[in-house]
Amino acid sequence: MLKLNSFVLIQLRIIFFMWLSCHIALSQEKPNIILIMADDLGYETLSVNGGSSYSTPNLDQLALGGMRFDQCYATPLCTPSRVQIMTGKYNNRNYIGFGLLDPSEKTFGHYLQDAGYENLVVGKWQLLGNSVQQKLAGNRAGTTPEKAGFDDYCLWQINTLGSRYKDPTLSSKEGGVETHTGKYGPDIFVEKIFTFIEKNKNDPFFIYYPMVLAHDPFVPTPSNPEFLNFDAKSGTNDPKYFGEMVAYMDHIVGKLVQKVDDMGIRENTLILFVGDNGTDRDVASRFKGSLVQGKKGYTTNAGTHVPLIANWPRKIAAGMVNKNLIDFTDFLPTLLQVANVKEKKSMALDGVSFYPQLLGDNSDIREWVFCHYDPNWGKFKPQSYVQNKKWKLYDNGDFFNLEQDKLEKNPIDISSVTREIDAIVDKFKNVLNTYNK
């Protein structure tokens, strides 16, 4: 009987270690992914990129320990960028209106959920639409986080307005809609992330964190003594607070990275940080000796050029600077490849995975960035354009040398360009014709 019990015990141990080995292998095969997207943060704001107006030590360290990108381009406004990054498709194919995500679209949440990931989204939603936004979209509604592929959430503005900063009104899966008196929205979001990581540290997870920082209203943060007595309903919106909001955003990123370290899962976690569009137009920032005025909402460089950082110890070499073109359709195919999910033709994605570039392989890089911009919001006119690092062509025929004319003040007469430049114009026209059918 004793021998039989010993035999059974040995068999159970073997089964346990086989299960553990398979579990570890699965975890390494499907690494954790954290995608952080700052709100209204242009390329010029980070110190590591050459900015000198703000303190961003944690983001600088994240970049120095991994890869930073010099040529990442978003759309000029939040909803168009969010729809594009979540679906991997250009806006001409699936954008239905400002503040809305077409509920028929599959997102990176769906694909990663199907691959066995536990998914969390925290921060800014603004994709279901309020009554005004839905009316502007022809009485169409957007979607909710559950229907967009997320298992859990804590979000500002699903279908309720209110503060996103002090005394925030937030929606969560477990608590519904709640106003958190005396608290600060970004602190609540990061605590939700911590709880989620603790719960899922042994399984593959995806965290999508579209931040509320550093969007206006520009108001005091908890690092400011003014915060204690600040009235969240005062209507304050002063750009003098933008710098401390950027610093607090950086502080939040630092806390998140430290948590991943503390949980012992850092080497199995890819962290991506990106801005959703250019900096607010009321903010001017020092950048490499010049003053850059934010141009959120506009298609010029200061409205679309955003920071991008990728960090993954033992996978991405430290101190790398990537000068290749990246646009927001590239994120979804990249995440699929990171998660070992095969991209299928039926997905009909527009992007090019930059996962090989993270590992040092530059054999498959894009030659141009396309943007279809028709936000159906504000006074922004519909436009489409194609650009590379030097040249930019709009659908109305305007053509610019971006190296000499970043503000796009002096369009070039296409009829007078050299044969070499004419070939670039023809290529750009073909792209515009392809996507503007």
Q: Which domains are delineated in the chain?
A: 29-367 (3.40.720.10), 391-435 (no CATH)
Residue 411 and residue 398 in contact, taking contact as beta carbons nearer than 8 Å: yes
Q: What is the pLDDT along the chain (437 residues), one digit of tens a residue?
A: 545 455 544 554 544 444 333 444 444 589 999 999 999 999 999 999 999 999 999 999 999 999 999 999 999 999 999 999 999 999 999 999 999 999 999 999 999 999 999 999 999 999 999 999 999 989 999 999 999 999 999 999 999 999 999 999 999 998 899 999 999 999 999 999 999 999 999 999 999 999 999 999 999 999 999 999 999 999 999 999 999 999 999 999 999 999 999 999 999 999 999 999 999 999 999 999 999 999 999 999 999 999 999 999 999 999 999 999 999 999 999 999 999 999 999 999 999 999 999 999 988 899 999 999 998 887 788 999 999 999 999 999 999 999 999 999 999 999 888 999 999 999 999 999 999 87
* Beta bridge mates, 144: none
Burial of 430 (0-12, 13-18, 19+ CB in 10 A): exposed
Strand spans (E) along 149-230: 152-156, 169-172, 176-179, 205-210
Query: What is the Cα gyration radius of the chain?
Result: 23
- What pTM value is reported for the model? 0.92
Q: How far apart are CA 401 and CA 67, in angstroms?
A: 27
- Contact call for residues 46 and 60 (beta carbons, < 8 A): yes
How far is it, in rounded angstroms, from Cα 296 to Cα 157? 21
Q: Which two tokens stand for residue 414?
A: 């296409």
φ, ψ at 87 (rounded to 5°): -110, -15
- Checking phi first, is residue 50 left (phi over 0); if not, alpha (psi -120 to 50) or beta? left
Bridge partners for 51 per DSSP: 287
Whether cis (ω within 30° of 0) applies to the bond prior to 217 is yes
Measured torsion, CA atoms of residues 421, 426, 430, 433, in degrees rounded to the nearest 10? 110
Find, among 376, 345, 327, 277, the residue nearest to 45 by Cα. 277
**Residue 166 per-residue DSSP state:** B
